[in-house]
Amino acid sequence: MKELLSGNAAIARGAIESGVTVAAAYPGTPSTEILENLALYPGVYAEWSPNEKVAVEVGIGASLGGARTLVAMKHVGVNVAADPLMTFSYIGVNAGFVLVSADDPGMHSSQNEQDNRHYARFAKIPLLEPSDSQEAKDMVGLALDLSERFDTPVMLRTTTRVSHSQSLVEIQDPQPRKLKSYVKDIKKNLMLPTYARPRRVALEKSLAGLKEYSESSPVNRIEWRDRSLGVITSGISYQYVRDVLPDASVLKLGFTNPLPEQMIRSFAAGVQKLIVVEELEPFIEEQVRAMGLALAVKGFIPYTGELDPGILAAALVKAGIIHSTGGIAKAGYDLAESPAVPARPPVLCPGCSHRGVFYALRQLKLNVSGDIGCYTLGGLPPLEAMDSNICMGASIGVAHGIGKANPALDARTVAVIGDSTFLHSGITGLLDVVYNKGNATVIILDNRTTAMTGHQQHPGTGRTLAGDPAPAVDLEALVRALGVKRVRVIDPLNLAETEAAIKEELAAKEPSVIIADKPCALLTKAVQPAVRVDAQKCTGCRICTRIGCPAISIKDKLAQVDAAVCTGCNLCLQVCREGALVKGEEKHA
Amino acid sequence: MLKPIDVLMVGVGGQGTILASRVLAQAAQAAGYDIKVSEIHGMAQRGGSVVTQVRLGEKVYSPLIVKGGADILLAFEKLETLRLLSYLKKDGVLIVNDQAIDPVPVLVGAAEYPPNIPEYLRNTVPGTLVFDATEIAGRCGTAKAANVVLLGAMARRLPIERAIWGKALAERVPAKLLEVNRAAFAAGYELG
């Protein structure tokens, strides 16, 4: 039976069919749906871990404990998990382990577009790159088999267009597996220098075996067609090559670390012109060139941004490989006379609890070090109340560093971080502020969910991935335990309270934490009567538009509130100086 | 081998493009086509543009449609039609919901929502079909079925039998909403 599945749903299905019984992840686009899908199957333990490092450590434990294991994360999550990963390859596995790295070329929902294939080389582990959902499913099983056969963790690397594209997948029955026995083997698993040195040597032996395997792997194959042009490609790029160069011979690589050198050499020898087509970094291209093989053109595809058949066709024309983009990139209609199209940027939702905090920060003209989540949108117009954003948890260390560099900035700098992000990797930053006597003011935007990725549970929500009740961490008690004495909880939609709290805590010569306590508006769906506009009082000053609420607009020079969009959060009332915005009234029967 | 049929669905988060693409995919699969659907998640709930790409044919490789390559552009909102119009091929089918959803730059007065979009579209793309799907859906029972009205209007332009569409709709729409959605689909089908 064939089902239309996204790459992520196919990976979950592949895990079930191959006997995975433990899975861990931290949500992150485009990887999130893997665990959400896995959690739907009975007989699997699937958890949201607080961060990716913990997820991999849980996965190592599960493998040692004898269960086939899948751990999933977005590309930047592997940075967080790199520490355990780099040594996991030394100890190897007991039961099979697959790490899914979901990369995001084009940065649809990410802060960078790093190419995580480099991690597989760096950690010296096998790498699989599916090009559609069927391969994504099949490669989970292959990864687990290889993991056990070669005693190594295996990386399955997808990209957004594999993770979030749906294609037809042949569904098979799950293959239940017995747990393996736990084996105490300190020479293999206890990485002290004495034991790590021989494991380092063993790792190279294992890699040599993998290189040999690569030559005969069923996922590396040559498709001979016209031999005047040969294309080496992997992952989603294969699909683009088939559309743009339907007649070319193709070496399709599904197993890309270590590369099958002999296969590549024989393919190169069989074609007149050889090129490599890949998205992002020249990962395969540089290795092919290091083999001493001549490429007809090098570096002809942009290293930045997402690839698509149109970009590929244009690049091939520019490089002289084909003469016209012909069947691919066609000229559509002449749109020279098209009206200007205003942008439609994503915005904080109506009723969003973050809006009050960012409006207050903007009013106070503060330096704001930001973090990763929905609230990063607070940095966009019209709020523009965030100065920097780097990675999960960075806001607190950055604010601390700014204050240490220039104490004059201390009283003007705040860190803003969400609850899920704080629990992911903000705790240690705050510990540093306390320990090293910083004065940072940290605002935890506590909306009790991982909102940006679609409302996943976390250790503060009181529920697990499976939906079961769980202990919810007490943020206030947690930050007090770290040594923060000034902790206060505010209602972020009360503007006066929010501004006063920020001013007072900035003035204090010690670390302080403000917990902005309000559940995500999308979760509570708590809609109060919509705000009304008193047209007699509205002067058309537009100050209400500065909060960036999608319910508020200016029509005929006066404020207007869309009652269908307004949630009645009443933040705009507090901004209007004329009293022209009026709290909606309960409808009486 | 026949070239795949490329369908681009564009709109704004919350307009039901996802459900429409699910029904289309279901129908295409039932009709025996290979199919790929690509969509970008993440910003949809936050009022951003939503683009779903559907390709169906004997064999589909790339999940992405190229500029100037879409056989059908189904637009749930007028402004988004303009944003993605470069993807429509010459002689392609353009179906547009006559609905405007102001983006924030327009709401705050920093930009103007272009007037007369339907007129521009009709002049640029011969045969453009523009209608108020929300109003038609309302007459069928709920304005929320505007997405299914649009789907119905497009259905006629695809080589998939009417009966298959009906089955796909039944499989993808909750039972209690099926009747109103059947009516919405039929109303759209008449227009297409």
Q: Read off the pLDDT of residues A444-501 as tens digits, 9 standing for 90 and up.
A: 999 999 999 999 999 999 999 999 999 999 999 999 999 999 999 999 999 999 999 9
Distances (CA, A) of A443 to A368, A489, A514, B119, B191: 10, 10, 5, 50, 54
CB distance B36–A166 less than 8 Å? yes
Best mutation target, B2, B33, B104, to test chain A (most A CBs within 10 A) = B104
* Cα gap A241→B80, rounded to integer Å: 29
Please give the helix or strand (H or E) that residue A154 lies within, else none: strand A154-159
Residues of chain B neighbouring A108 (CB-CB closer than 8 A):
40, 42
For every residue of chain B, DSSP letters joined together read -PPPEEEEEEEETTSSHHHHHHHHHHHHHHTT-EEEEEE--SSGGGT-EEEEEEEEESS---SSPPTT-EEEEEESSHHHHHHHGGGEEEEEEEEEE------HHHHTTSS-PPS-HHHHHHHHSTT-EEE-HHHHHHHHT-GGGHHHHHHHHHHTTSSS-HHHHHHHHHHHS-GGGHHHHHHHHHHHHHH-
CB distance B82–A310 less than 8 Å? no
CB distance A332–B60 less than 8 Å? no
Contact by Cβ (8 Å): A278, A243: no
Nearest CA in chain A to B90: A332
Contact by Cβ (8 Å): A298, A290: no
Residues of chain B neighbouring A159 (CB-CB closer than 8 A):
none
Distances (CA, A) of B59 to A158, A368, A466, B63: 22, 51, 38, 11
Residue of B174, B173, B131 whose CA lies nearest to B154: B131
CB distance B41–A542 less than 8 Å? no
Q: Does domain A532-582 have CATH number 3.40.50.300?
A: no
CA distance A391 to chain B (A): 18
Query: Residue B162: how many CB atoms within 10 A of its CB?
Result: 11
* Cα gap A492→A499, rounded to integer Å: 9
CA distance A197 to chain B (A): 44
* Cα gap A577→A537, rounded to integer Å: 10
- Strand, coil or helix: A74: strand
CA distance A325 to chain B (A): 11
Q: Which two tokens stand for residue A197?
A: 């040195």
* Cα gap A268→A289, rounded to integer Å: 11
Query: Residue A589's pLDDT is what?
Result: 45
In eight-state DSSP terms, residue A341 is: -
Dihedral class, residue A542 (left if φ above 0, else alpha if ψ from -120 to 50, else beta)? left
Best mutation target, A111, A233, A241, A344, to test chain B (most B CBs within 10 A) = A344
* Cα gap B137→B180, rounded to integer Å: 8
* Cα gap B19→B177, rounded to integer Å: 13
Query: Residue A332's pLDDT is what?
Result: 86
Which of B36, B37, B46 has its CB closest to that of A347?
A: B46
CB distance A335–B111 less than 8 Å? no
Under CATH, what is the fold of the domain A220-318?
A: Rossmann fold (3.40.50)
Is A354-524 in the same CATH topology as A2-216?
Answer: yes
CA distance B90 to chain A (A): 5
Which of B29, B39, B87 has its CB closest to that of A164?
A: B39
> Domain boundaries in chain A?
2-216, 220-318, 354-524, 532-582
CB distance B63–A165 less than 8 Å? yes
| Domains of chain B as residue ranges with CATH | 5-191 (3.40.920.10)
Q: What is the β-pairing status of strands A512-517 and A486-490?
A: parallel
Q: Does domain A354-524 have CATH number 3.40.640.10?
A: no
* Cα gap A362→A356, rounded to integer Å: 10
| Residue ranges in chain B modelled with pLDDT below 50 | none
Q: Three-state secondary structure along A84-123?
A: HHHHHHHHCCCCCEEEEEEECCCCCCCCCCCCCHHHHHHH
Q: Which residues lie below 8 Å from residue A212, measured CB to CB, with a gap of 6+?
A: none
Q: Which residues lie below 8 Å from residue B77, measured CB to CB, with a gap of 6+?
A: B10, B11, B12, B15, B97, B99, B100, B101
Nearest CA in chain A to B25: A4
Q: Does domain A2-216 have CATH number 3.40.50.970?
A: yes
Contact by Cβ (8 Å): A97, A147: yes
Which amino acid, residue A325?
Answer: T
Residue B127 at interface with chain A, using a CB cutoff of 8 Å:
no
Sheet holding A226-234, edge to edge: A220-223, A248-253, A226-234, A273-277
Residue B34 at interface with chain A, using a CB cutoff of 8 Å:
yes
Query: Residue B61's pLDDT is what?
Result: 98
Q: What is the mean pLDDT of each run of 10 residues along chain A (589 residues)?
A: 96 98 97 98 97 98 98 98 98 98 95 98 98 98 98 98 98 93 98 98 97 98 98 98 96 98 98 98 98 96 95 95 80 89 91 97 98 95 96 98 96 97 98 97 97 95 97 98 98 98 97 97 88 96 94 93 94 97 77
* Cα gap A30→A102, rounded to integer Å: 6
* Cα gap A356→A577, rounded to integer Å: 16
Q: Is the dihedral of CA A324, A329, A330, A334 positive or negative?
A: negative
Residues of chain A neighbouring B12 (CB-CB closer than 8 A):
344
Which of A29, A344, A554 has its CB closest to that of B109?
A: A554
Q: Which residues lie below 8 Å from residue A252, measured CB to CB, with a gap of 6+?
A: A131, A220, A221, A222, A223, A233, A234, A238
